[in-house]
Structure 1
């Protein structure tokens, strides 16, 4: 049995189950400001906490949705290791993704993964589909939900 076949055999019984919960990460104002500078998205609801407190229902600055989404890779590192024979993992994109709740500056977020599918894409890669929920500590509604695709690449 190849490493790819073994990985698929390992994943198949896990379909529909939670396969990982990451550590919490604090999204502070400095992280928001740095992201704003990097992406050239310096809208005041992100970088002006005083104005955001006065003029929005959020009580202060909120993180960019794409900042929250960008933490998905960090969450995956917390939850998944390379499988035997795997040489790398590649982000393959999203089928679906929705921002459900703004993340206020100072909030903690974490990722929760449920395996939806795992199948061979070709002779050396497995396409793994996970539901990713990014939770906000103390909030019932998550920041976002996404159907995230990843390729696990195996050596020949």
Structure 2
């Protein structure tokens, strides 16, 4: 990675957030794992969802790829998702001023707006499936970064 200092600054800022957690695997700055809370007032409330940001070698000058790695009912698992302005699918609208915290908040906001669709989205959000995934999310452990949702510090909103 060419811009390790920039990425480390982004990670330090992200680690100060209280509504999500971030984790890297060892010293590999090319993959940033994150866990976010489902937004209050949505069917995703009380769930915790895990994803990964794949940073390109020239980040922040090129857009990343984003995947959700745990079942949510909102996104397809292990597939790059499309978020205008935040992902490599829309590299023409990417800005190097966008940081890791903003990327994670953009993903989190898409749980609130079911009218937004794109590549990597589950087009048929079903409440029974979402409710099942909310419960499963509480015991999720990422096999790669070992982040465990049972230990998730930020209080899940009630």
Please indicate the TM-score interval, normalised by the length of the shorter structure.
Answer: under 0.3
Q: Which has the larger radius of gyration?
A: 1
Normalised TM-score (structure 1): 0.28
Higher RCO (CA 8 Å, separation ≥ 6 residues): 1
The structure with the greater share of residues assigned to helix is 1
The structure with the greater share of residues assigned to strand is 1
